[in-house]
Structure 1
Amino acid sequence: MSLTRDDDAAPAAVTSRPTTPTLRRIVTNQQFVLVVVLIALILFFGARNTLFFRIGEFTNLLTDFSGLVMIAIAEAFVIIAGGIDLAVGSTAAVTGVIVAGWIQPLVTHGDNLAVILVLGTILCAGLGAVAGAISALLITVFRLVPFVATLITYSAGAGLALVISNGAPVGYDPRAIVWSTSGISLFTWLDIIVIVIAIVLGVVLHFTVYGRYTYAIGSNEFAALAAGIKTRRHVASIYILSGVLAGLTGMFFYIRSGSAAPTTEVSNSANLLAIAAVVIGGASLYGGVGRWWGVILGAALLTVVSDGLIFINVAPTWIQVVVGAIIALAALLQTLRRRSNATGRMTT
């Protein structure tokens, strides 16, 4: 008899388990919220100024988005692995300054533009790899926490950029500016190259062993090490990858403006926006959580906000205030999502 009662009670216990409402799951889904907010912002800025919907403005948005998304994805790899890279902005600045000075003689003599841009891109990527390797060395060999290690790299990079350039833009290549505005429809060639790189990185993050190792280390580095993953080597490669992408971003800025900007404002702004795009996109600063498309949406949202506020004549000084508010909202959504997931586990 007791067996019958236990068997009869089991289905009732299962069917009585409360489940997380579908509406709550949707509302706390950060990527879904980002899509809604992004559409709302575009409609808002368009309503305030109908010129916002011009093809030329969308082209500017895409170019600004391309300038942010590469270092945002670089930051995403690092954060998902449980680290932080404060040096992406300064790496972009110092690599751009150094390479702009190196290739200026070629520009002055009117050498082939394609050769100049390819050579500059290779040099920027190489210098970025060196900067990333320094951060990796400080973290994996000298055992500094990522915040301190990359703060050192950031300070050194920002300082070198100012010293090398004497605080002034370096180089001038009008042909690069002209090339940066050519392309197909809304997309410039520069945008297309960045988008292709971003897609490749998304595939690497979500569909390769390298990406799985990145998530595993960010979730639990000790468990990843016990599973046979060479965690130190992998972490080092992530910081080198971040440096390479930051260096490529430095070349992007050079091509777009025809010169390299060494100012600390550029370094600080790039660092802030890169980390903000990752956090807004749903990645956890504790590591192990984050999606490529979330970073893309976060970068798109920040681009629309930054350009849109300027477009409706809001002072640029307000942009960081708005970005801070958006980060706070993203953090709140993450908290709600964690509580929702915890509640769901407790009721099952």
Structure 2
Amino acid sequence: VVVALVLGTVIGLVNGLVVTFTNVAPFVVTLASATLLDGVALLVHDGSTISIGTRMFALGNDKVLGVPYLLIVAVLVLIVTALVMRFTVFGRDAFAIGGNEHVARLSGINVTARKLTLYGLTGTLSGLAGLMLLSRLGSSSPGGTAGLSLQLAVVAAVVIGGTSLAGGHGTVIGTALGLVLLGVVANALNLLDFSSNYQPVSVGAVLLVAAVANEMHKARSGSARH
């Protein structure tokens, strides 16, 4: 568990270093590293599924007062993140950097340190998410439930929740609602007995609509300010 969290943090920092000290687009850097790490997982696993037996079973399957442990962990992470982003200098600096990095630097914000911290924390939380998924499934399979398909679903949830991919705007509550919407759509498809092949189609369609809606909202907001 500790190694997974540390490794996730290190990978996040490496992404942060590449993004901060080069002109490569962040999405390209993170997509490239994700693809690279998918390949590393295949090499480490030798293409096979590895079971962890009953280890971490309690975290992934047990409940307290009817509430799953995983849901408790997820809600705690969301609450802490929301409070930090809303009520701390670090959170305000992060939004300022996302809005306009050059202006943020002129305002006295240590942009480099803040960006590296953000990428490091993202890596840590990604490691935690991986551990949560592992505890739930009881096994690890390269190219299985996790991987690029899950990462793109996460991006979809964030965009659907109103976060701008350009930076500077977004809320934790919006992201949570985006996740709920994707879950509802997936569950509805299952209940209506649609093929599972329709799920990525629905995610892509919802993401496209949300992205267009976000851009239209941003354009209207800009016109209103002028």
TM-score bucket of the superposed structures, by smaller chain:
over 0.9
Aligned AA (2:25): V
1:171-186 map, 5 Å: 171-174=51-54, 176-177=56-57, 179-186=59-66
- Distance verdict in 2 for CA 1:140–1:336, change over 3 Å: closer
The CA deviation at 1:216 is 0.3
Moved over 4 A (4+): none
1:28-177 mapped onto 2 (5 Å cutoff): 120=1, 122-174=2-54, 176-177=56-57
**1:266–1:189 CA distance, 2 compared to 1 (3 A):** closer
Alpha-carbon distance in structure 1 between the residues aligned to 2:142 and 2:64: 31
Partner of 2:106: 226
Q: 1:131 Cα deviation (Å)?
A: 0.9
Q: 1:195 corresponds to which residue?
A: 75
Runs (5+) with no aligned partner, structure 1: 1-119
Change (3 A) 1:292 1:217: same
Gapped regions of structure 2 (runs ≥ 5)? none
User: In structure 2, what is the Cα distance between the partners aligned to 1:213 and 1:243?
Assistant: 19
SS in 2 for 1:229: coil
Residue of 188, 207, 221 corresponding to 2:87: 207
Distance in 2 (CA, whole Å) between partners of 1:124 and 1:308 is 34
Q: Deviations over 1:6-55 (max 9, x none)?
A: xxxxxxxxxxxxxxxxxxxxxxxxxxxxxxxxxxxxxxxxxxxxxxxxxx
| Aligned twin of 1:328 | 208
Is 1:280–1:326's contact at 8 Å kept on the other side of the alignment? yes
What does residue 42 of structure 1 align with?
Answer: none
Q: Distance in 2 between matches of 1:260 and 1:209?
A: 38
- SS of residue in 1 equivalent to 2:41: helix
1:274 and 2:150 correspond? no
The CA RMSD over aligned residues, in Å, is 1.8
Aligned to 1:312: 192
**2:225 partner letter:** R
Q: 1:174, 1:258 within 8 Å by CA — same for their partners in 2? A: yes
What is the one-letter code of the residue matched to 2:82?
Answer: G
Given that 1:284 and 1:290 are in contact with CA atoms closer than 8 Å, whether structure 2 keeps it comes out as yes
What does residue range 251-290 of structure 1 map to in structure 2 within 5 Å? 251-263=131-143, 266-290=146-170
Aligned counterparts of 2:119 and 2:150: Cα–Cα separation in 1: 17
How far apart are residue 245 of structure 1 and its match? Answer: 0.8
Residue 268 of structure 1 aligns to which amino acid in structure 2? L
The structure showing larger relative contact order (alpha-carbon pairs under 8 Å, at least 6 residues apart) is: 1
Query: CA 1:311/1:208 → structure 2, altered by over 3 Å: closer, same or farther?
Result: same
Distance 2:212 2:31 in 1: 27
Residue-by-residue CA offset, 1:119-142 (whole Å, 9 max, x unaligned): x2x221111011111111211234
Aligned pair in 2 of structure 1 residues 241, 175: CA closer, same or farther (>3 Å)?
closer
The structure-2 alpha-carbon separation of the partners of 1:144 and 1:343, relative to structure 1 and needing over 3 Å to count, comes to closer
Q: 1:134–1:153: 8 Å Cα contact kept in structure 2? A: no
- Please give the alpha-carbon distance, in whole angstroms, between the structure 1 residues aligned to 2:69 and 2:95: 32
Change (3 A) 1:198 1:230: same
Structure 1 residues 266 and 193 mapped into 2: Cα distance closer, same or farther (>3 Å)?
closer
More helix by proportion, 1 or 2?
1
Alignment TM-score, normalising by the size of structure 2:
0.92
Distance, in Å, in 1 between the alignment partners of 2:104 and 2:59 is 46
For 2:19 and 2:216, locate their aligned partners in 1 and report how far apart those are by CA, in whole Å: 32
Q: How many pairs does the alignment contain? A: 226
- Please state whether the residue corresponding to 1:174 is helix, strand or coil: coil
Q: Which amino acid aligns with 1:234?
A: R
Give the TM-score normalised by the residue count of structure 1: 0.61
- Please tell me whether the aligned partners of residues 15 and 119 of structure 2 are also in contact (alpha carbons under 8 angstroms): yes
What amino acid does structure 2 have at the position aligned with 1:232? Answer: T
Identity %: 33
Residue identity in the other structure for 1:289: H
Aligned mates of 2:144, 2:138 — CA distance in 1: 19
Partner of 1:21 in structure 2? none
Instruction: State the distance in 1 between where 2:78 and 2:189 align.
Output: 26
In structure 2, C-alpha distance between the alignment counterparts of 1:292 and 1:191, rounded to whole Å: 16
Q: Is the 8 A contact 1:216 1:224 kept in 2?
A: yes
- Residue aligned with 2:136, SS: helix
